[in-house]
């Protein structure tokens, strides 16, 4: 049984297409995102140790302030690590797009490239949403930490803010993971297309 | 165990068949996302209880329940990702068969000549040339055998922690509650660490599939077998993964240790850095995953380049 690629939405060209804009960003930005994530995690851990010292010294205000700075640093790390994962997935999709196209071109066939599937569009949209929520929470934690330190916010208000921001952070992390699942799901779709397409090229060339 | 897992990733199906991993994975993910929305609602409710006289116990209960349910939602999302990665692994092996069948028809009929074996430099990094397909590396053998058990154990730990979180919620403000809180946090993050390790092993299995599959295709075509050497990103991935997993195991031990404390102040002091430590461990595991994905991208680039060489020159 020979299966064709008609069920897939493709664009046809004579030459292989280059990476698209998100894939180009993925190629360039995964490394800085990786490096910044490590900076965030290490800074978050150091701030946690300093906070523990403040707790041991009985300085509740400093401890509450450092708690917010520590969470901000740690979740900056998480924002960057999920961004790095998303960019690395985009880079993989770029390799499939360019590699698949160039293989068809080398074989002397017309080049059929998959149009961006709905899962890939949702991946980008949800990733952007999650990143914005997480970054907003990180900034809010820094502001809360500064206000506690300057004693313009009570510890009770700070506790309330901590719970609000925790709710936002938790949801954003879940959203990010779902976006990553969509990105990886797109890879399955692309490999299935390519497995069918390469047989089609071999049968028609 | 390895044979069973190998059967899962090598199903006997037609190359065009949809395997269902994507739909199942995204389905689990969607359910988990809905649970996460409920947890966000619980968090907002908890914040509204802050400072309300007489609601301290309710606040503690909501915080305990939200923690347990949130970590469970997160592990469900990671399980969804693991299911999708299994789907990618299945597809990688189906792709090997498709490439093998197609390149045989596409490659020009030339004599490959004698194979010059040894090391070569490529645009994607150092590689080796051999006459036969390379053996599976020890790290790949471990990855192919371990992703399944790690996934099952991780999910079990997180669900055990969810049950303990109900004990925590039912004993807020007591020493039993403090003990249950430590057990919940330790168990659930140990589980999260195991599931992320499973994801890392699945990514390593994908790399193993690309390496073995690439070798298998070249050997079947009778051309020199060019195999990419392990890139620095892959080596760093293994280091970060091991460090992250060790931290998660250590934090579990330390959480059990603090349940023995009679002094609440000492418990609070230790908890203040154990929380960030468990997140630091997960962070390292996730950073390793970035490197694993980057390595997959490099390996794919190398493979496509090799396929084009064979199609163009026949060797």
DSSP for residue B132 = S
Contact A203 B95 (CB under 8 A): no
- Residues of chain A in contact with residue B286, where contact means CB-CB under 8 angstroms, are 37, 78, 81-82, 85
Locate the chain A residue with the closest alpha carbon to B313: A106
DSSP result, chain A: ----STTS-EEEESS-----HHHHHHHHHHHHHHHHHHHHHHHHHHHHHHHHHHHHTT-HHHHHHHHHHHHHHHHHHHHHHHHHHHHHHHHHHHHHHHHHHHHHHHTTSPEEEEPPPHHHHHHHHHHHHHHHHHHHHHHHHHHHHHHHHTT-S-HHHHHHHHHHHHHHHHHHHHHHHHHHHHHHHHHHHHHHHHHHHHHHHHHH-
pLDDT of residue A22: 93
- Chain A residues inside the 8 Å CB shell of B103: 202
Q: Is B4's pLDDT higher than 90?
A: no
Q: Of B16, B275, B293, which has the smallest distance from its Cβ to A89's Cβ?
A: B293
Number of cross-chain residue pairs from A and B with Cβ atoms under 8 Å apart: 230
Q: Is the pLDDT of residue A1 over 60?
A: no
| Interface ipTM | 0.95
Q: What is the pLDDT of residues B169-219, one digit of tens each?
A: 999 989 999 999 999 999 999 999 999 999 999 999 999 999 999 999 999
Decide if B19 and A188 are in contact by the 8 Å CB cutoff.
yes
The residues near B54 (Cβ < 8 Å, ≥ 6 apart) are: none
CB pair distance less than 8 Å for B92 and A81: no
Least confident of A170-184, B61-75, B96-110, B139-153: B96-110
Q: How confident is the model over A68-83, as a mean pLDDT?
A: 98
Q: How confident is the model at residue B15 (pLDDT cuts 50, 70, 90)?
A: confident
Per-residue pLDDT reduced to its tens digit, A21-33: 999 999 999 999 9
Summarize the confidence of residues A47-54 as an average pLDDT.
97
* Rounded Cα–Cα distance for residues B251 and A181 (Å): 28
Phi and psi at B228, nearest 5°, equal: -70, 135
A96 pLDDT more than 70: yes
**pLDDT tens by residue, A121-145:** 999 999 999 999 999 999 999 999 9
User: Above pLDDT 90, what percent of chain A?
Assistant: 94
> Strand, helix or coil at B118?
strand
Tracing tokens 């997935």 back to the chain, one arrives at A89
Distance CA B203, CA A6 (A): 31
Residue of chain B minimizing CA distance to A63: B272
Q: Which domain holds residue B180?
A: 20-313
Task: Determine the average pLDDT of the residues in A9-13.
Answer: 93
Q: How confident is the prediction for chain B on average, in pLDDT?
A: 94
Cβ distance of A88 and B101 shorter than 8 Å = no
Confidence of residue A66 (pLDDT cuts 50, 70, 90): very high
C-beta atoms of B81 and A184 within 8 A? yes
Q: Is the pTM of this model over 0.90?
A: yes
Q: How confident is the model at residue B114 (pLDDT cuts 50, 70, 90)?
A: confident
Q: List, as ranges, residues 137-196 from A with C-beta within 8 Å of B.
A: 156, 159-161, 163-164, 166-168, 170-171, 173-175, 177-178, 180-182, 184-185, 187-189, 191-192, 194-196
pLDDT computed for residue B112 by the predictor: 65
Q: How confident is the model at residue B16 (pLDDT cuts 50, 70, 90)?
A: confident
Q: Which residues of A touch B92 (CB under 8 A)?
A: 191
* B33·A174 Cβ contact <8 A: yes
Q: Give the number of domains in chain B.
A: 1
A189 contacts B286? CB cut-off 8 A: no
Q: Do B279 and A166 touch (CB under 8 A)?
A: no
Distance CA A33, CA A172 (A): 18
Instruction: Name chain A contacts of B21, Cβ cutoff 8 Å.
Output: 188
Of B14, B40, B99, Cβ closest to residue A171: B40
- CB contact (8 A) between residue B279 and residue A44: yes
Mean pLDDT of chain A: 94
pLDDT at B201: 97
Region B61-89: what's the mean pLDDT?
Answer: 97
Q: Which residues contact A129 (CB under 8 A, 6 or more apart)?
A: A175
Q: Is A101 on the interface with B (CB under 8 A)?
A: no
| Residue-level pLDDT at B10 | 81
Tell me what pLDDT residue B207 has.
96
Contacts of A84 in chain B (CB under 8 A): 287, 290
**Dihedral angle of Cα A7, A13, A15, A18, to the nearest 10 degrees:** -70
Q: How far is B89 from chain A (nearest CA, A)?
A: 9
| Contact between A167 and B42 using a beta-carbon 8 Å cutoff | yes
Which of A55, A195, A205 comes nearest B95 by C-beta?
A195
In chain A, where are the structural domains located? 10-31+85-204
- Give me the pLDDT at residue B151, please: 97
- Whether B97 maps to a domain, the answer reads yes
Average pLDDT over residues A45-68: 96
Query: Which among A30, A188, A203 has the least Cβ separation from residue B22?
Result: A188
Per-residue pLDDT, B93: 93
CB contacts of B94 in chain A (<8 Å) are 191-192, 195
Average pLDDT for residues B114-141, to the nearest whole number?
91
pLDDT of residue A3: 62
Q: How far is B46 from chain A (nearest CA, A)?
A: 7
Summarize pLDDT for B19-38 with one digit per residue, the tens: 899 999 999 999 999 999 99
pLDDT reported for residue B109? 81
Residue B51 lies in a domain: yes
């Amino acid at each position: 049984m020979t299966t064709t690629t008609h069920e897939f939405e493709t664009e046809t060209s004579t030459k292989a297409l280059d990476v698209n804009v998100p894939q180009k960003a993925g190629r360039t930005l995964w490394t800085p995102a990786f490096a910044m994530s490590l900076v965030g995690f290490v800074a978050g851990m150091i701030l946690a140790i300093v906070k523990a010292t403040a707790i041991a010294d009985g300085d509740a205000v400093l401890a509450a302030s450092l708690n917010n700075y520590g969470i901000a640093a740690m979740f900056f790390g998480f924002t960057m690590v999920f961004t790095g994962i998303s960019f690395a997935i985009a880079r993989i999709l770029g390799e499939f797009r360019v590699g698949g196209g160039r293989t068809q071109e080398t074989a002397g066939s017309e080049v059929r490239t998959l149009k961006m599937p709905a899962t890939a569009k949702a991946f980008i949209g949800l990733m952007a949403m999650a990143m914005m929520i997480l970054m907003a929470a990180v900034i809010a934690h820094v502001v809360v930490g500064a206000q506690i330190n300057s004693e313009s916010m009570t510890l009770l208000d700070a506790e309330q803010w901590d719970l609000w921001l925790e709710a936002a952070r938790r949801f954003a992390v879940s959203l990010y993971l779902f976006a990553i699942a969509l990105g990886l799901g797109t890879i399955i779709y692309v490999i299935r297309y390519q497995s069918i397409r390469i047989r089609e090229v071999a049968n028609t060339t | 165990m390895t044979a069973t897992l190998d059967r899962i990733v090598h199903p006997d199906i037609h190359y065009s068949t949809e395997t269902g991993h994507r739909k199942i994975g995204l389905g689990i993910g969607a359910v988990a996302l809905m649970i996460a929305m409920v947890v966000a609602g619980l968090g907002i409710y908890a914040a509204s209880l802050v400072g309300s006289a007489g609601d301290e116990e309710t606040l503690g209960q909501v915080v305990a329940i939200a923690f347990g349910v949130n970590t469970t939602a997160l592990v469900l999302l990671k399980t969804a990702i693991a299911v999708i990665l299994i789907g990618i692994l299945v597809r990688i092996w189906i792709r090997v068969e498709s490439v093998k069948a197609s390149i045989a028809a596409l490659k020009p009929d030339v004599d490959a000549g004698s194979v010059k074996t040894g090391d070569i430099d490529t645009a994607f990094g150092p590689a080796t040339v051999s006459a036969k397909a390379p053996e599976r590396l020890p790290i790949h053998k471990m990855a192919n055998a371990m992703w399944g058990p790690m996934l099952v154990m991780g999910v079990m730990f997180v669900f055990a922690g969810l049950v303990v979180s109900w004990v925590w919620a039912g004993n807020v403000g007591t020493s039993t509650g403090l003990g249950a809180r430590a057990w919940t946090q330790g168990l659930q993050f140990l589980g999260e660490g195991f599931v992320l390790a499973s994801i890392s092993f699945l990514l390593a299995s994908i790399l193993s599939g690309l390496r073995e599959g690439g070798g298998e295709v070249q050997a079947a075509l009778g051309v020199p077998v060019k195999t990419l050497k392990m890139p620095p990103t892959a080596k760093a991935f293994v280091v970060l993964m091991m460090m992250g997993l060790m931290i998660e195991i250590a934090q579990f031990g330390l959480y059990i240790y603090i349940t023995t404390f009679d002094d609440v102040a000492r418990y609070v002091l230790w908890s203040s850095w154990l929380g960030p430590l468990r997140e630091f461990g997960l962070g390292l595991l996730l950073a390793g995953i970035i490197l694993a994905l980057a390595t997959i991208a490099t390996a794919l680039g190398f493979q496509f380049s090799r396929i084009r060489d064979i199609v163009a020159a026949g060797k």
